Structure 1
Amino acid sequence: KRLVQILVWIIRGTPLMLQLIIIFYGPGLWLHKTVWSGNETGRITATVVAFVINYACYFSVIFRGGIEGVPAGQREAGQVLGMTKHQIFFKITLLQMIKRVVPPMSNEIITLVKDTSLARIIAAYELTFAGAAFMKSDGLTWPLFYTGVFYLIFIGILTLLFGYIERKLDYFK
């Protein structure tokens, strides 16, 4: 348990850009061999691994807080009704925890979408990278404008979706 807490502390305390660099270049430096292929697939794979590790640490803290936020009296009521620990978790705690974690979870997912632009630090071909390449090759700035509009529309759709989910989960009021 303590080792996981230290890992979460390290991941949450260091910049995602640094984690991308370490995950992509680190194994080659430490193992003296290439773990990720130098092509686009290897770069995208390293990016996915970095994002999964980073956001798993953030989500673990969100879920822990959600579970701990359910009053102990709810679990005790389940015990009085003769429920097993498994039943108490899935029928009482989990249902209340989901409502509590949707707002911070939606915030993290929106941040994840915007953080994908950091993948260019290891030369992974993503949306912002493509817009900047257009700008350099043709001297045009409109591709970056359209990139920003795309992110704004996509984040707007996610915001509406998570707002809908939050409204649907208002059954505890």
Structure 2
Amino acid sequence: MSFDYLISILKPMLEGAQMTVLLFIIAIVVSIPLGFILTLSVGSRFKPLSLIAQGYIYVMRGTPLLLQLLFICFGLPMIPVVGEYLVLDRFVAACLGFILNYAAYFAEIFRGGLLAIDKGQYEASQVLGLNKWQTLTKVILPQMFRIALPSVANESVTLVKDTALLYAVAVPELLHFAQTAVNRDFTIVPFFVAGIIYLIMTLLLTMVFKWLEKRFKFE
């Protein structure tokens, strides 16, 4: 194994890592707000909305992410009549699958955060004359975010690792290029390189969340 060989495999793998990072950013930016909306829907007094949200969370958390990705990529186009209109670009389909799946997990994390807030906080807000919106935005959400942050961090790290599932739906990401190099060169070195790249990405993400935890801990 030479330095030149490492450089030759590193370039395409870094290009694949860009796809991994792009998927992560899209999924995290969309799934966290969607997860919070689901949390509010579960707690809604409108029972049909609450039941739909609970059912959605149960299905998305109870079935494998890989199965969901395969269904969106290959199953939707097979639906009679409307299937031809549901053919999506593989990357778009993958983003949709990750967003829908992780929104359910974040919804449960946020629900746990809300349940951890003492009921006295709501009563104190009423005594101070705050309306429901002010109570939610100024009292409840900041506390919920601090409580839920460690779990959100853990789920975000899992999301980075789960991006390897893109390989199963033929999206050229980091693992795809690693596997290609292994098959071509009959060496496991690309797998070690891919592992190091994943470790670097998760390390950077962990550092960001540690910084956030320290910042919000003392506010």
Letter in structure 2 aligned against 1:36? V
Match of 1:163 in 2: 210
Confirm or deny: 8 A CA contact 1:36 1:45 kept in the other structure.
no
- Judged with a 3 Å threshold, the aligned counterparts in structure 2 of structure 1 residues 60 and 80 are, in CA distance, closer, same or farther, namely same
Q: Confirm or deny that 1:61 pairs with 2:108.
A: yes
- Cα deviations by residue, 1:74-127 (Å, 9 ceiling, x for unpaired): 111010011111111111101111100100000111000000001111111110
Q: Give the Å deviation of 1:66.
A: 1.0
* C-alpha RMSD of matched pairs (Å): 1.3
TM-score normalized by the length of structure 1: 0.92
Q: Whole-Å Cα distance in 1 between the matches of residues 66 and 93 of structure 2?
A: 12
Q: Give the Å deviation of 1:34.
A: 6.0
Q: Percent identity?
A: 37
Instruction: Provide the secondary structure at the position in 2 that maps to 1:169.
Output: helix
Q: 1:128 aligns with which of 149, 159, 175?
A: 175
Match of 1:33 in 2: 84
Match of 1:86 in 2: 133
**58-67 or 163-172, which deviates more:** 163-172
List, as ranges, runs of 4+ consecutive aligned residues in structure 1 with deviation greater than 6 Å. none
- Cα deviations by residue, 1:11-33 (Å, 9 ceiling, x for unpaired): 10111111111111111111342
Higher relative contact order (CA 8 A, sep 6+): 2
Q: Give the Å deviation of 1:68.
A: 2.1
Letter in structure 1 aligned against 2:84? K
Q: Whole-Å Cα distance in 1 between the matches of residues 201 and 155 of structure 2?
A: 14
Q: Whole-Å Cα distance in 2 between the matches of residues 7 and 26 of structure 1?
A: 18
Instruction: Provide the secondary structure at the position in 1 that maps to 2:218.
Output: helix
Q: Give the Å deviation of 1:135.
A: 1.0
Q: Confirm or deny that 1:105 pairs with 2:152.
A: yes
Q: Give the Å deviation of 1:140.
A: 2.7
